[in-house]
Amino acid sequence: MSYTKIDQYLEKNLDGSIAELSELVAQPSVGAQNWGMQECAQLTARLLAKRGFTVEVLPTGGAPVVFAERKGRNADKTLLFYNHYDVQPAEPLELWETPPFEPSLRNGKLFGRGVSDDKSHITARLYAIDALLDSDGELPCNVKFLIEGEEETGSIHLPKFITANKGKLAADACIWEFGGVDHREVPMQYLGLRGICYVELSIETAAIDVHSGVGGSIFENAAWRLVWALNTLKDQNEKILIPGWYDGIEPPTARDRELFDLQPDAAEEYKTRYGVKKFLKGVTGGTDLFMQETFEPTCTICGLTSGYQGPGSKTVLPARASAKVDFRLAPGQKIERCLTLLRQHLDSGGFEEIQIEFLGGGPAAKTNPDDPFIKLVVETAEEVFESRMELIPMVGGSGPNYPFVHELNMPVATAGLGYPDTRAHAPNENIRLDLYVKHARHMARVLKEFGK
């Protein structure tokens, strides 16, 4: 099949698609701060309606889901795109070279909060659809979009939404919200996502902050209580100390290890990219580094706050302290059980007064590397990227793939336009325009081959 006409369309109309992406990035949609969510959902809906999709903005109990569908030539095949319109907070603002919500194009890259994660993946897929409609006048198969607004805050309402809308969401396969190339420009197929259980631990020890000269030796200090409690969660060798935490974990398979063995060592590249000198637990690289990065449960402090944090000194005994803690889960670990174990552990350590607020999460899930849909996505990538797409059994990040794999029973393939310096979740998040076009070309091919 020739893709000449489609590829030409995608070379010629880039400015228009990037303008559409810029409009989407300029609309803040910071879920954690409940900033611009409705506006961004409506804008996303308009972009879909423009392409002739039937669009619904559906309530979830939190930020709404944008659901869209359009029939295609092959009425028996349906492809579901999963995306999200919410973005991470932009802080720390002072580290951005240009304002996070004023998209800035320089050196073939577009910068802005959410430009990579995940707004470009929405518009690049619409761009592929534009090219197919331009070339053929119709879509090759039925296409559905499920675009949620709570991915960055743990997709807290999505699993229930999926259970309640199984018929509406029914499809044969799913293209996931992200994907991309590694530092060699090789496209990656991510087959599994780690689970996550994100909590805020907080403590209040007094009604008011007290002068530290007065209270320092006689009143409890919220910051100290928090430090001592956190210290009981993980030792300096990264072992999580909560009893029972590692029980029930499904270990990686021989096939998982085999797939990682095929990958080139990433150690030097990681060191350069992140400015670190070594890795935790003494691993030096190779498959061991990948296995630790992706299959290990973690306990990460994402934020600490207490007392005075401005310049200079303030002599105060803090009455309140809190920590944001992100537990990544291996396959087999269940959210409810983890929360119960955490509570029991804090209580048995004398930290009954520490409050646990669950801020979102879900279990880990994996797609079979030998599924025919995975094969199709891998094969269509080859011509576009001039490189064989590689299979990664699991990544360290998380996402709500569990209900797609286990409720909707569909294979989930990743394909996208990320690259190592894309800075998702960090200041100066950006995309490369060349990869934007490649992703659209890839998606046009996936849809066309899938519709056959």
Site for a second copy, residues 64 to 93, rule: CB under 8 A: 88-89, 91-92
Residue 208 makes contact with a second copy by CB under 8 A:
yes
Binders of a second copy among residues 213 to 232 (CB under 8 A) are 213-221, 223-224, 226-228, 230-231
Could you identify the residue written with the tokens 């944001």? 324
Name which of 162 and 316 has its Cβ closer to a second copy: 316
Nearer to a second copy, 123 or 322 (CB): 322
Which of 53-61, 136-144, 209-217, 364-372 is the region at the interface with a second copy (rule: CB under 8 A)? 209-217
Shortest distance in whole angstroms from residue 142 CB to a second copy = 32
183 binds a second copy (CB under 8 A): no
Residue with Cβ nearer a second copy (187 or 318): 318
Nearer of residues 113 and 438 to a second copy, judged by Cβ? 113
| Bridging pattern class, strands 365-366 and 192-204 | antiparallel
Q: Given the complex with a second copy, which of 83 and 88 has the nearer CB atom?
A: 88
Of 74 and 292, CB closest to a second copy: 292
Task: Give whichever of 47 and 289 is closer to a second copy, judged by the CB atom.
Answer: 289
Residue 196 interacts with a second copy (CB under 8 A): yes or no: yes
Q: How far is the CB of 303 from a second copy (least distance, A)?
A: 4
- Which residue in the set 40, 289, 405, 443 belongs to the binding site for a second copy (CB under 8 A)? 289
* CA dist., res. 371 & res. 411, Å (int): 7
Interaction between residue 201 and a second copy (CB under 8 A): no
Size of the site for a second copy (CB under 8 A): 91
The DSSP code sequence of 12-38 is HTHHHHHHHHHHHHHS--BGGGTBSHH
Stretch binding a second copy (CB under 8 A), from 8-16, 38-46, 122-130, 290-298: 290-298
**How far is the CA of 409 from the CAs of 161, 173, 174, 329, 406, in angstroms?**
15, 9, 10, 21, 5
Q: Taking CB under 8 A as the rule, does residue 430 contact a second copy?
A: no
Nearest to 449 by CA among 375, 367, 386, 348: 375
Q: Which 381-410 positions form the footprint of a second copy (CB under 8 A)?
A: 395-398
For residues 120 and 101, give the distance between their C-alpha atoms in angstroms, rounded to a whole number: 14
User: How far is C-alpha 349 from the chain's CA centre?
Assistant: 33
Among 205, 333, 380, 401, binds a second copy (CB under 8 A): 205
94 CB burial (10 A radius; 0-12, 13-18, 19+): exposed
Amino acid identity for residue 287 in this structure: T
Nearest to 295 by CA among 384, 396, 197: 396
Residue 124 token pair? 């690049």
Using the rule CB under 8 A, give the single segment among 106-114, 166-174, 252-260, 425-433 that binds a second copy.
Answer: 425-433
Q: Which stretch binds a second copy (CB under 8 A): 3-11, 42-50, 130-138, 303-311?
A: 303-311
- Residue 264, interface with a second copy (CB under 8 A)? no
What b/e string do you get for 407-432 counting C-beta neighbours within 10 Å, with b at 16 or more? Answer: ebebbbbbbbbbbbebbbeebbbbbb
Kindly state the smallest distance separating residue 430's Cβ from a second copy, in Å: 13
Residue 366, SS3? strand
- Cβ at position 332, least distance to a second copy in Å: 16
Distant-in-sequence, close-in-space partners of 277: CB < 8 Å, separation ≥ 6: 271
| Residue 59 vs 213, nearer CB to a second copy | 213
Question: Which of 145/190 has CB closer to a second copy?
Answer: 190
Within 18-47, which residues bind a second copy (CB under 8 A)? 31-34
Q: Give the contacts of 287 (CB within 8 A, at least 6 positions apart).
A: 257, 260, 261, 263
Q: How far apart are CA 38 and CA 36, in angstroms?
A: 6
Q: Supply the minimum distance, in Å, between the C-beta of residue 320 and a second copy.
A: 9
How many other β-carbons are positioned within 10 Å of the β-carbon of residue 106? 10
Q: Residue 310, interface with a second copy (CB under 8 A)?
A: yes
Residue 123-162 contact track with a second copy, rule CB under 8 A, x = bound: -----------------------------xxx--------
Nearer to a second copy, 107 or 313 (CB): 313
Task: 50-54: list long-range contacts, CB under 8 Å, 24+ apart.
Answer: 51/126, 51/129, 51/130, 51/133, 52/133, 53/143, 53/145
